Amino acid sequence: MSLLHFSDAAARARREGVPLVALESTIITHGMPWPDNAETARRVEAEVRAAGAEPATIAVLEGRLCIGLADAQLEALARARGVAKLSRADLAVTLAAGRTGATTVAATMIAAHLAGIEVFATGGIGGVHRGAERSFDISADLHELAQTPVCVVAAGAKAILDLPATLEVLETLGVPVIAYRQDAFPAFWSRDSGLAAPLRMDSPAEIARALVMRRALGLPGGQLVANPIPREHEIPRAELTPAIEAALAEAEAGGISAKEVTPFLLQRIHELTGGRSLQANIALVLANARLAAAIARKLAALSPERIVEGGEND
């Protein structure tokens, strides 16, 4: 029995040499409410196709590691309640037990790499939570970026996290954090976190070359491309701060911990902003899908030799 179960569309893309872009499923089950989650998942897939690549939404369904979901599977996952959230630690146990779960950034990277997919689009990555010096709550997403060679396109990390600490940990782990077409590190709903991004690149071709170069150097791990939310959809930082503070205080008072923290905060902020943060969230995921598809196409056109010899420009 093979480990990976490719959807018909993903299998066809592989046969025909169409570049694939991985998509995560925790954003569907834990990141957005029904029915926005299903609608967004479909729009993200359409966006990847329109940009000349094939989407592969990744999830574990009844013990099968699925690379690409049929529409009925996607719909069922989006409607389901109480779906497990799978990170690196959970993947093998869930598969062995024949259970179902949605994959986080970390688990999606693992599956994408096994499937030979090098580019992955999501909303935001997990990071260092505020108060992590007491709770030790640091997302496994950061360690995954350090060890699994997948290029993750996200809108930075959310301001619910400790962003300076998140950037410090990424630096310690040797993860390139590349802001796209700006100098600031974006903060998910806002284009500017107030922090400088360590690195900047201005084209999908450059980003693809950096990934190939990393491989040529024998460095493990991937890279994080931080794509700022489109200007017309951003919510300025000052406007969001009260909602973030309120949600964090409620989480603290309610003793919310471990895997529940991120979904709880996201849902409360969606509610406290009257759905405005959800609209921003949808817009940034779509933008990330477009950029990821463009990077995947450039990557497909590159070979390691050309890079090392310093060939090809944008």
Among 19, 55, 68, 123, binds ligand PSU (CB under 6 A): 123
Which of positions 190-229 make contact with ligand PSU (CB under 6 A)?
Answer: none
Closest CA to 182 of 211, 214, 156: 156
Please identify, using beta-carbon distances, which residue of 58 and 295 lies nearer to ligand PSU. Answer: 58
Only one of the segments 137-145, 174-182, 203-211, 301-309 lies at the binding site for ligand PSU (rule: CB under 6 A); that segment is 137-145
CB of 107 to ligand PSU, least distance (A): 8
Task: Please tell me which residue in 24, 47, 118, 144 is annotated as part of the active site.
Answer: 24
The tokens of 88 are what? Answer: 């690196």
Residue 131 near residue 95 (C-beta atoms within 8 A): no
3-state SS, 149-205, equals: CCEEEECEECCCECHHHHHHHHHHCCCCEEEECCCECCECCECCCCCECCEEECCHH
- Angle (CA) 148 135 241, round 5°: 90
Clarify whether 298 is annotated catalytic. no
**Between 31 and 228, whose beta carbon lies closer to Mn ion?**
31
Radius of gyration from C-alpha coordinates of the chain: 18
Is 144 a binder of Mn ion (CB under 5 A)? Answer: no
CB of 57 to ligand PSU, least distance (A): 12
Of the ranges 29-37, 76-84, 88-96, 133-141, which one interacts with Mn ion (CB under 5 A)?
133-141
Of the residues 45, 158, 234, 298, which is catalytic?
Answer: 158
186 counts as binding ligand PSU under rule CB under 6 A: no
Q: Are 18 and 68 in contact (CB under 8 A)?
A: no
Site string for ligand PSU, 233-262 (x = CB under 6 A): --------------------------x--x
Instruction: Tell me how far apart the alpha carbons of residues 292 and 288 are, in angstroms, rounded to a whole number.
Output: 6
24 binds Mn ion (CB under 5 A): no
Question: To the nearest whole angstrom, how small is the minimum distance from the Cβ of residue 209 to ligand PSU?
Answer: 26
Instruction: Give the footprint of ligand PSU on residues 273-292 (CB under 6 A).
Output: none
Buried b / exposed e across 131-140, counting CB within 10 Å, b at 16+?
ebeeeebbbb
By CB under 5 A, how many residues form the interface with Mn ion?
A: 1
Strand-pair category, 119-121 with 20-23:
parallel
CA nearest 68: which of 59, 80, 56, 84? 56
Residue 139 touches ligand PSU, criterion: CB under 6 A = yes
Helix axes 163-172, 140-147, angle to 10 degrees: 30
**Is residue 27 close enough to count as binding ligand PSU by CB under 6 A?**
yes
Is residue 133 annotated as a catalytic residue, yes or no?
A: no
> Would you give the binding string for ligand PSU spanning residues 91-120, x where CB under 6 A is met?
-------------xx---------------
Does residue 106 contact residue 87 with C-beta atoms inside 8 Å?
yes
Using CB under 5 A as the binding rule, whether residue 137 contacts Mn ion is answered as: yes
Q: Which residue is nearest to ligand PSU (CB)?
A: 31
Q: Which is nearer to Mn ion, 14 or 88 (CB)?
A: 88
CA-CA distance, 7 to 11, in Å (whole number)? 6
DSSP secondary-structure letter at 260?
Answer: G
Where would I find the beta strands (DSSP E) of the chain? 4-6, 20-23, 54-61, 64-67, 84-86, 101-103, 119-121, 151-154, 177-180, 199-201, 223-226
Site residues (vs ligand PSU, CB under 6 A): 24, 26-27, 30-31, 87, 104-105, 123-124, 126, 139-141, 259, 262, 266
Site residues (vs Mn ion, CB under 5 A): 137
Catalytic residues: 24, 158
